Amino acid sequence: MVGWAIAVHGGAGVDPNLPTERQEQAKQLLTRCLNLGISALRSSASAIDVVELVVRELETDPIFNSGRGSALTEKGTVEMEASIMDGVGRRCGAVSGLSTVKNPVSLARLVMDKSPHSYLAFSGAEDFAKQMGVEREENDYFVTEDNVGMLKVAKEANSIVFDYRIPTTGYESCGAGVESPIRMNGLPISVYAPETVGCVVVDSQGRCAAATSTGGLMNKRIGRIGDSPLIGAGTYACDMCGVSCTGEGEAIIRGTLAREVAAVMEYKGLALQEAVDFVIKERLDEGQAGLIAVSKTGEVAYGFNCVGMFRGCATEDGFMEVGIWE
Q: What is the DSSP string of 96-114?
A: EEESSBS-HHHHHHHHHHH
Surface-to-core class of residue 115, CB atoms within 10 Å of its CB (0-12 exposed, 13-18 middle, 19+ buried): middle
Q: Answer with the residue of higher pLDDT: 159 or 107.
A: 107
Q: Report how far apart, in Å, the C-alpha atoms of 166 and of each of 59, 116, 188 are.
A: 19, 41, 18
Task: Check: CB of residue 1 under 8 Å from CB of residue 297.
Answer: no
Question: What's residue 16's pLDDT?
Answer: 84
83-124 confidence digits (pLDDT tens): 999 999 999 999 999 999 999 999 999 999 999 999 999 999
CA distances from 64 to 91, 123, 129, 162 (A): 27, 25, 23, 12
Does the annotation flag 227 for ligand binding? yes
**223 annotated as ligand-binding:** no
Is the pLDDT at 320 greater than 50? The verdict is yes
Mean pLDDT of the region 58-69:
94
Query: Is 50 within 8 Å of 87 (Cβ atoms)?
Result: no
Segment 216-264, tens digit of pLDDT: 988 899 999 999 999 999 999 999 999 999 999 999 999 999 999 999 9
User: C-alpha angle 83/86/87, rounded to 5°?
Assistant: 130
Is residue 237 within 8 A of residue 211, CB to CB? The reply is: no
Q: How many angstroms separate the CA atoms of 104 and 92, rounded?
A: 14
User: Which one of 100, 196, 235, 256 is the catalytic residue?
Assistant: 196
Is 248 assigned to a binding site?
A: yes
Q: Is 31 labeled as catalytic in the residue annotation?
A: no
Band of the pLDDT at 179, cuts 50, 70, 90?
very low
97 is in an annotated binding site: no
Please report which confidence band the pLDDT of residue 149 belongs to, taking 50, 70 and 90 as the band edges.
confident
User: Whole-prediction pTM value?
Assistant: 0.91
Q: Where are the beta strands (DSSP E) in 169-239?
A: 183-184, 187-188, 197-202, 208-214, 235-237
